[in-house]
């Protein structure tokens, strides 16, 4: 585990160690974990340019004002989009690539509490679309900008890191997975997809993390009497930990060239999903610790079954289907 004091010590060095003018995109930044992480990033970075993607203009106006008050030297821009659709993600990617030459941080935390197997208009399971398909499409599209960054090059996706398990190649969309098993299932899908992305970008570091139980709007559908049994991670601590994972040299890319914040006392390089230190893809738990040996063993078994390639063929097949449907409409 990484103590909160170590997290705060590392974050305190961001302003002095990382260059001014970092460019970041927060994919789902108008509430909950995305919002608190944007504000925490605003507190530490210098003269940064931050794109906040979401659906609520009212929430965005409030957050933009709060970020500007936190850091008057920063530039904060709202991009309104429904990111449950691949076609919208593609348009959003084009817009960002037209404006920027590089990207230092891509932070993804879009989500939905829906578990009734609702589907998008593109015939993707909504829950899987928000947690996997649209996120990985955005990462894939913006990877060229990340690879061009002169300093920090980092992807952080918030989900269920450290809870990987089983995966059925006949049901990648998780349409038949029992509700209690959905987190493990989609977490596994995400991590394997990220491993494939990382193979084409050894200079980019990717962190898939589990934030713990944080009181966000996604929990609104859960009855209060049930929520009373939860142990919540304070939202402010969650923001600090997310910024730590976005900036610390604890999570280097496979190439080893990252220019993140140097390790503070008591913090070591993380173990990647393959079981080796510093291999570029990290499945990380609530206290910023690497996934357990048992989880890494499960992932190794899936790799032995060529599941990474199967996941990627399926993913690209879905993207091609959606684009073909657009061309025919």
For the cut 70, the answer to whether the pLDDT of residue 113 exceeds it is no
**pLDDT on residue 85:** 96
Average pLDDT, the chain: 93
Interval 200-209 mean pLDDT: 96
116-125, 144-153, 154-163, 302-311: the lowest-pLDDT one: 116-125
Arithmetic mean of pLDDT, 167-191: 94
Which pLDDT value is given to residue 198?
94
Give me the CATH number covering residue 302: 3.40.50.720
pLDDT exceeds cutoff 80 at 135: yes
Give the mean model confidence (pLDDT) for residues 185-197. 97
Residue 175 has pLDDT above 90, yes or no: yes
Range of the domain at 54: 4-328
pLDDT value of position 30: 86
Number of structural domains in the chain: 1
Is the confidence at residue 221, as pLDDT, over 70? no
Q: What is the mean pLDDT of residues 1-9?
A: 97
Which pLDDT belongs to residue 162? 96
Q: What is the pLDDT of residue 28?
A: 87
**% of the chain surpassing 90 pLDDT:** 84
Tell me what the mean pLDDT of segment 161-187 comes to.
94
> 138-164, pLDDT tens digit by residue?
999 999 999 999 989 999 999 999 999
pLDDT of residue 217: 65
> Average of pLDDT values for 117-133?
94
pLDDT tens, residue by residue, 235-277: 999 999 999 999 999 999 998 777 799 999 999 999 999 999 9
Please tell me the pTM assigned to this model: 0.94
Three-class HEC string of the chain: CCCHHHHHHHHCCHHHHCCCCCEEEEECCCCHHHHHHHHHHHHHCCCCEEEEEECCHHHHHHHHHHHHHHCCCCEEEEEECCCCCHHHHHHHHHHHHHHCCCCCEEEECCCCCCCCCCECCCCCEHHHHHHHHHHHHHHHHHHHHHHCCCCCCEEEEECCCCCCCCCCCCCCCCCCCCHHHHHHHHHHHHHHHHHHHHHCCCCCEEEEECCCCCCCHHHCCCCHHHHCCCCCCCHHHHHHHHHHHHHECCCCCCCCCCCCECCCCCCCCCECCCCCECCCEEEECCCCCECCHHHHHHHHHHHHCCHHHHHHHHHHHHHHHHHHHHHHC
Greater confidence, 100 or 219?
100
Instruction: Specify the pLDDT at position 95.
Output: 97
pLDDT score of 329 more than 60: no
């Amino acid at each position: 585990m990484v103590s909160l004091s170590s997290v705060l010590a590392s974050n305190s060095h961001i302003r002095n160690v990382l260059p001014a003018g970092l460019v970041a995109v927060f994919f789902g930044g108008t509430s909950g974990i995305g919002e608190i992480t944007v504000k925490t990033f605003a507190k530490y970075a210098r003269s940064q340019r931050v794109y906040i993607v979401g659906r609520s203009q009212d929430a965005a106006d409030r957050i933009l004002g709060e970020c500007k008050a936190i850091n008057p030297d920063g530039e904060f821009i709202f991009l309104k989009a429904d990111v449950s659709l691949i076609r919208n993600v593609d348009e959003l990617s084009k817009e960002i690539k037209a404006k920027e030459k590089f990207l230092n941080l891509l932070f993804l935390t879009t989500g939905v509490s829906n578990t009734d197997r609702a589907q998008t208009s593109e015939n993707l399971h909504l829950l899987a679309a928000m947690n996997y398909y649209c996120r990985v499409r955005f990462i894939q599209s913006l990877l060229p900008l990340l690879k061009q960054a002169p300093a920090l090059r980092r992807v952080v996706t918030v989900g269920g890191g450290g809870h990987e398990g089983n995966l059925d190649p006949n049901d990648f969309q998780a349409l038949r997975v029992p509700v209690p098993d959905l987190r493990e299932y989609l977490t596994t899908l995400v991590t394997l997809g990220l491993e494939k992305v990382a193979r084409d970008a050894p200079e980019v570091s990717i962190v898939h993390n589990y934030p713990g139980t944080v009181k966000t709007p996604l929990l609104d559908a859960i009855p209060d009497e049930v929520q009373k049994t939860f142990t919540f991670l304070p939202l402010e601590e969650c923001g600090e930990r997310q910024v730590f994972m976005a900036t610390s040299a604890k999570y280097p890319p496979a190439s080893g060239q990252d220019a993140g914040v140097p390790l503070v006392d008591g913090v070591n390089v993380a173990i990647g999903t393959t079981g080796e230190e510093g291999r570029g893809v990290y499945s990380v738990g609530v206290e910023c610790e690497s996934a357990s040996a048992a989880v890494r063993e499960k992932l190794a078994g899936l790799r032995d079954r060529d599941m990474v390639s199967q996941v990627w063929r399926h993913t690209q097949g879905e993207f091609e289907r959606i684009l073909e449907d657009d061309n025919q409409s």
